[in-house]
C-alpha cells in the first residue's frame, strides 16, 4: 500500500475573474430573508464573502512592512451560529508590535420589512495579552440575532516581511466566495504552498508601483515592478470533522507563503529557504536549546545517589532515570522546543515545560554514557508544516538509540511507559538531533500494536440476568489511556462513571493490578450482573455474547471519505467468552463463523466458537495493524468495520428443551 501523501501543490492557472462585486455596505432584503444556505441546509452560518489583500509599505528608518486588509460579510442562520459574528485577530507583541485595527463593522437586521443598521462602537473591541509574545484583538458585533448579516474590515500591519499570513479559503461554515491578493515588490521572492483538496484558481499580472516615504531631508519616492497575484475559490462547503482524523488544519483549503530570497538594490541576493537539516542545526545552536541541554551541574548529586553502587545494565539505567524524572516534575502543560525559565530553575521548582523536563532526562542519560537525544515533533493539534521552518516544531521528547533501535521517552506524563508516547506526541514524524550535531528524520508512529485481551465468564440467573466475571488486560497506549482516566478520579467515581455509560451493569469485587507499574499491562478484574442484551420471547432467549463490549456502531457511515484514516496507533482486540447454557435450554441458533483479512493483513477479524457440553466458547479477534491509512483505502475499511460491528452485536438463540 502506497504511503498517503497528505499535501500537494495546487495547479494554478489563469481564468476569468468572477464579475460579481463583493463589497461592504451592500445588503439586500433577500439576503436578510434567507433562512438556510443554498447548498447546506444544516449550516449555522455562512461567509457570503471574505476578501483579503496583502501589500507592502515603506519607511526610511525601518524598511518594508506588510499590510493585510480583510473584508468579511457573514450571514447567521441559526442560534448556534451567533458566535460567527465575532472575530479574534492574534498578533505579535514582541520586540516590534504588530498593529490591528477594525473598521466598517455593521450588523444588519430586517425589522418591519426595513433594513436596520447597527454600527459597532469602541466598546465592541477588546484587547487581551495571551503571553509574552502574543496578544489578541477581539471584535464583538452588536445586536446580532438569527437572520442577521454582519460585516467588518480589519487591518494587520506587520514589520515581519518573512511572515506573510496563511490565507484560508475554507472554514467550518460554508464560504460562498473567498479571495486573496498579494502584491509583491520585485525585490522579494516567495515560495507558494497549498493545502486541501480544491484547485485554487489564480490570476497574475505585473504593474509598476511608486511608493512615497519621508526621509531626514524631506519627501522621497521609489518605483519598482510588483507582481499582483489573485487567488480565489467559490462555493466552498464547510470543512467537517471525520472520525479518526488528526488536526483539521491539515486539510482546510488554504495557501501559504515562504520568503525564499531578497534582492534589494545595492544589497545582492540573500537566500532564506532552509532545509530540515539546517533548521535542526539552527535550533540546536539556540541558547535556550543547546546550552540548556548541555547543563548538568544542577542534578549531578541526585544522579549519583540514584545510581549509587547498583549493578545495572543500560536498559535498567534508562528505566531508573526515566522514572526519577517523571516523578520529580509536574508538567505545566506548556509546549515548546525551548526552555522558558531554564532547566536549573525548573529542576529546583519541580515544574517546567516539556523542554525543561525532557532536557533533564536527556542530560541525565548522557551523563551515564547513554546515547540520548532530543527529538523535535509537532503535536497532533498543530498542522504539519509544508516547508522547512523552525516554527514547524512545538514539542520535544527523548530518543535513546539502543540495539539498532530508538526508544521513545516523554517524562511529562508520569503514567507513560518506555516507548509509549502520550497521544499528543504521536504525529507520525520527528527529527532527532544527536550530540554529534547530526540530525535525521525518524518515524515515531508505533509499529507494535496496543492490546486489549478480554476474558468473560457468563451465566444466566433465575431472574434472567447475565452474571459472571470479567478480566481485561490492557497494554501499551491502551494501558496508558486507562491509567490517565483511572487516576483522575476516585475508585467510586470511576466505577460510577463506567456503570453510567453501560445501563444495566452492576460491578462488584473490583480490582486493578499494575496501575503504578507502567511497564506492565493493566489487569482489571470484577464480578458483574448485567440485565441488558438478553431478551425472552415465546420461551426463547436472545443473547449477545459480547454484551457491552465491541463496536457500538460503525464509525464509518459516509459513502465516501476525503481525509486519511488515522487510528494513532495499531491495536489488537481479543475476546474470550465462556458462556454457560442454562439448564432446560439448548442452542437453536448460533451466528455464522467468520474469518477475514485484507490482502496484506492491515485489518483482520475472526469470529469463532466451539460448543463443549453445556458451554459455548467464543474466540473473537479484531486487529488493526496499521496506524494510518490513505483515504483511498476507505472502500476497504468501511465494509470491514461494518462486518465487525454486525457480527459483534449478533445474538445467539436458546430454546427450551
Whether pLDDT at 3 is above 50: no
pLDDT value, residue 29: 95
Q: Where are the beta strands (DSSP E) in 547-642?
A: 565-566, 571-580, 585-589, 594-597, 603-612, 615-624, 628-629
**Domain end (from 411, 428, 443):** 443
| 3-state SS assignment for residue 96 | coil
Dihedral angle computed from the Cα positions of residues 15, 19, 22 and 25, in that order, rounded to the nearest 10 degrees: 170
Backbone angles phi, psi at 479, to 5 degrees: -65, -40
Whether pLDDT at 532 is above 90: no
Whether pLDDT at 10 is above 70: no
Whether pLDDT at 227 is above 50: yes
Residues 296-302 have a mean pLDDT of 97
Residue 37 resides in a domain:
no
The pLDDT confidence band at residue 96, using thresholds 50, 70 and 90, is confident
The pLDDT confidence band at residue 520, using thresholds 50, 70 and 90, is very high
| Per-residue pLDDT reduced to its tens digit, 438-460 | 999 999 999 899 999 999 999 99
The residue count for the chain: 657
Residue 204 resides in a domain:
yes
The pLDDT confidence band at residue 19, using thresholds 50, 70 and 90, is very low
C-alpha to C-alpha distance for 313 and 369, rounded to whole angstroms: 12
595: β partners: 606
CATH number of domain containing 296: 3.10.620.30
CB 251 within 8 A of CB 238: no
The pLDDT confidence band at residue 17, using thresholds 50, 70 and 90, is very low
Are 306 and 395 in a shared domain?
yes
| 3-state SS assignment for residue 449 | coil
**Domain end (from 443, 477, 494):** 443
C-alpha to C-alpha distance for 501 and 549, rounded to whole angstroms: 12
Residue 462 resides in a domain:
yes
Are 51 and 163 in a shared domain?
yes
Are 266 and 311 in a shared domain?
no
C-alpha to C-alpha distance for 352 and 621, rounded to whole angstroms: 42
Are 226 and 345 in a shared domain?
no
Residues 302-317 have a mean pLDDT of 94
**Domain end (from 385, 408, 443):** 443
Whether pLDDT at 78 is above 90: yes
Are 297 and 340 in a shared domain?
yes
The pLDDT confidence band at residue 5, using thresholds 50, 70 and 90, is very low
C-alpha to C-alpha distance for 139 and 203, rounded to whole angstroms: 32
Q: Which of 58-62, 258-262, 627-631 has the lowest mean pLDDT?
A: 58-62
pLDDT value, residue 52: 98
pLDDT value, residue 20: 67
Residue 642 resides in a domain:
yes
Residue 15 resides in a domain:
no
Whether pLDDT at 231 is above 80: yes
Are 120 and 86 in a shared domain?
yes
C-alpha to C-alpha distance for 263 and 225, rounded to whole angstroms: 13
pLDDT value, residue 18: 41
Q: Where are the beta strands (DSSP E) in 378-438?
A: 395-402, 405-409, 429-433
| Per-residue pLDDT reduced to its tens digit, 600-612 | 999 999 999 999 9
pLDDT value, residue 591: 95
The pLDDT confidence band at residue 469, using thresholds 50, 70 and 90, is very high
Cell 457570503, located at residue:
48
Are 555 and 628 in a shared domain?
yes
Q: What is the DSSP letter of 389?
A: -
Residues 392-418 have a mean pLDDT of 95
Rg (alpha carbons) of the chain, rounded to whole number: 30
Q: Average per-residue pLDDT in the chain?
A: 93
What residues have CB less than 8 Å from 96, skipping those under 6 apart? 159, 160
pLDDT value, residue 61: 85
pLDDT value, residue 11: 35
Are 135 and 158 in a shared domain?
yes
More confident residue, 232 or 384: 232
* CA 342 to centroid of chain Cα atoms: 28
Give the number of domains in the chain: 3
C-alpha to C-alpha distance for 449 and 625, rounded to whole angstroms: 7
pLDDT value, residue 266: 83
Whether pLDDT at 199 is above 70: yes
User: What is the percent of the chain with per-residue pLDDT over 70, rounded to a whole number?
Assistant: 97
Question: Which cell goes with 58?
Answer: 515603506
Q: Which of 248, 284, 526 is nearest to 396 (CA)?
A: 284
pLDDT value, residue 14: 37
Are 576 and 482 in a shared domain?
yes
CB 624 within 8 A of CB 565: no
Dihedral angle computed from the Cα positions of residues 299, 302, 306 and 311, in that order, rounded to the nearest 10 degrees: 70
Are 203 and 290 in a shared domain?
no
Are 411 and 469 in a shared domain?
no
| Per-residue pLDDT reduced to its tens digit, 543-552 | 999 999 999 9
Bridging pattern class, strands 372-377 and 45-59: unpaired
The pLDDT confidence band at residue 404, using thresholds 50, 70 and 90, is confident
C-alpha to C-alpha distance for 119 and 515, rounded to whole angstroms: 59
Residue 9 resides in a domain:
no
Whether pLDDT at 179 is above 60: yes
Whether pLDDT at 107 is above 70: yes
Whether pLDDT at 6 is above 70: no
Burial class of residue 587 in the structure, from the number of CB atoms within 10 Å of its CB (0-12 exposed, 13-18 middle, 19+ buried): middle
Question: Which cell goes with 554?
Answer: 460503525
The pLDDT confidence band at residue 218, using thresholds 50, 70 and 90, is confident
C-alpha to C-alpha distance for 556 and 55, rounded to whole angstroms: 45
| Element housing 557 (H / E) | none
Domain span at residue 195 reads 42-243+251-271
Q: Which of 4-18, 32-46, 361-375, 625-639 has the lowest mean pLDDT?
A: 4-18
Question: Which cell goes with 341?
Answer: 525559565
CATH number of domain containing 100: 2.60.40.3140
Spell out the SS3 assignment of 139-164: ECCCCCCCCCEEEEEEEEEECCCCCC
Are 408 and 455 in a shared domain?
no
CB atoms < 10 A from the CB of 169, how many? 25
What residues have CB less than 8 Å from 217, skipping those under 6 apart? none
Residue 149 resides in a domain:
yes
Residue 206 resides in a domain:
yes
Cell 463463523, located at residue:
593
Whether pLDDT at 8 is above 80: no
CATH number of domain containing 565: 2.60.120.1130
Amino acid at each position: 500500500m502506497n504511503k498517503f501523501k497528505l499535501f500537494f501543490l495546487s495547479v494554478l492557472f489563469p481564468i476569468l475573474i468572477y464579475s460579481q462585486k463583493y463589497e461592504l455596505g451592500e445588503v439586500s432584503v433577500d439576503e436578510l430573508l434567507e433562512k438556510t444556505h443554498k447548498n447546506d441546509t444544516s449550516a449555522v452560518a455562512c461567509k457570503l464573502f471574505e476578501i483579503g489583500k496583502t501589500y507592502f509599505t515603506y519607511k526610511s528608518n525601518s524598511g518594508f512592512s506588510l499590510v493585510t486588509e480583510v473584508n468579511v460579510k457573514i450571514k447567521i442562520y441559526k442560534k448556534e451560529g451567533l458566535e460567527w459574528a465575532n472575530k479574534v485577530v492574534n498578533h505579535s507583541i514582541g520586540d516590534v508590535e504588530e498593529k490591528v485595527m477594525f473598521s466598517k463593522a455593521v450588523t444588519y437586521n430586517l425589522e418591519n420589512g426595513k433594513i436596520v443598521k447597527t454600527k459597532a462602537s469602541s466598546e465592541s473591541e477588546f484587547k487581551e495579552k495571551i503571553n509574552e509574545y502574543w496578544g489578541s484583538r477581539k471584535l464583538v458585533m452588536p445586536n446580532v440575532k438569527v437572520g442577521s448579516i454582519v460585516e467588518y474590515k480589519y487591518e494587520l500591519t506587520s514589520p515581519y516581511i518573512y511572515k506573510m499570513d496563511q490565507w484560508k479559503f475554507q472554514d467550518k461554515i460554508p464560504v460562498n466566495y473567498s479571495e486573496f491578493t498579494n502584491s509583491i515588490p520585485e525585490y522579494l521572492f516567495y515560495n507558494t504552498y497549498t493545502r486541501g483538496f480544491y484547485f485554487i484558481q489564480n490570476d497574475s499580472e505585473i504593474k509598476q508601483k511608486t511608493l512615497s516615504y519621508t526621509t531626514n531631508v524631506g519627501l522621497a519616492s521609489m518605483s519598482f515592478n510588483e507582481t499582483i497575484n489573485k487567488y480565489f475559490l467559490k462555493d466552498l462547503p464547510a470543512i467537517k470533522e471525520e472520525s479518526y482524523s488528526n488536526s483539521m488544519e491539515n486539510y482546510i483549503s488554504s495557501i501559504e507563503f515562504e520568503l525564499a530570497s531578497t534582492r534589494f538594490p545595492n544589497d545582492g541576493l540573500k537566500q532564506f529557504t532552509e532545509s530540515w537539516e539546517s533548521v535542526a542545526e539552527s535550533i540546536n545552536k539556540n541558547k535556550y536549546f543547546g546550552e540548556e541541554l548541555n547543563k548538568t551541574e544542577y542534578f549531578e548529586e541526585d544522579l549519583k545517589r540514584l545510581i549509587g553502587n547498583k549493578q545495572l545494565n543500560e536498559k535498567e539505567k534508562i528505566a531508573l532515570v526515566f522514572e526519577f524524572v517523571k516523578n520529580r516534575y509536574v508538567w505545566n502543560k506548556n509546549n515548546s522546543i525551548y526552555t522558558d525559565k531554564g532547566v536549573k530553575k525548573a529542576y529546583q521548582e519541580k515544574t517546567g515545560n516539556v523542554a525543561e523536563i525532557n532536557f533533564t532526562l536527556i542530560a541525565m542519560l548522557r551523563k551515564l554514557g547513554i546515547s540520548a537525544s532530543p527529538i523535535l515533533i509537532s503535536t497532533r493539534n498543530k498542522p504539519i508544516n509544508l516547508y522547512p521552518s523552525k516554527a514547524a516544531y512545538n514539542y520535544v521528547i527523548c530518543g535513546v538509540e539502543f540495539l539498532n533501535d530508538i526508544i521513545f521517552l516523554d517524562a511529562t506524563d508520569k503514567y507513560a511507559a518506555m516507548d509509549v508516547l502520550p497521544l499528543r506526541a504521536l504525529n507520525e514524524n520527528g527529527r532527532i538531533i544527536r550530540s554529534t550535531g547530526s540530525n535525521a528524520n525518524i518515524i515515531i508512529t508505533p509499529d507494535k500494536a496496543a492490546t486489549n485481551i478480554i476474558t468473560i465468564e457468563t451465566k444466566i440467573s433465575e431472574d434472567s440476568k447475565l452474571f459472571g466475571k470479567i478480566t481485561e488486560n490492557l497494554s501499551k497506549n491502551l494501558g496508558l489511556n486507562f491509567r490517565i482516566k483511572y487516576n483522575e478520579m476516585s475508585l467510586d467515581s470511576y466505577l460510577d462513571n463506567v456503570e453510567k455509560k453501560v445501563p444495566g451493569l452492576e460491578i462488584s469485587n473490583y480490582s486493578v493490578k499494575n496501575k503504578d507499574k507502567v511497564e506492565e499491562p493493566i489487569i482489571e478484574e470484577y464480578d458483574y450482573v448485567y440485565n441488558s442484551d438478553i431478551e425472552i420471547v415465546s420461551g426463547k432467549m436472545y443473547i449477545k455474547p459480547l454484551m457491552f463490549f465491541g463496536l457500538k456502531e460503525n464509525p464509518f457511515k459516509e459513502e465516501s471519505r476525503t481525509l486519511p484514516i488515522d487510528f494513532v496507533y495499531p491495536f489488537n482486540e481479543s475476546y474470550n467468552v465462556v458462556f454457560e447454557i442454562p439448564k432446560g435450554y439448548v442452542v437453536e441458533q448460533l451466528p455464522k463463523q467468520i474469518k477475514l483479512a485484507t490482502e496484506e493483513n492491515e485489518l483482520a477479524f475472526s469470529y469463532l466458537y466451539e460448543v463443549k457440553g453445556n458451554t459455548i466458547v467464543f474466540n473473537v479477534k479484531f486487529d488493526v495493524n496499521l496506524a494510518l491509512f490513505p483515504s483511498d483505502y476507505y472502500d476497504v475499511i468501511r465494509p470491514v468495520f461494518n462486518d465487525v460491528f454486525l457480527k459483534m452485536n449478533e445474538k445467539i438463540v436458546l430454546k427450551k428443551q
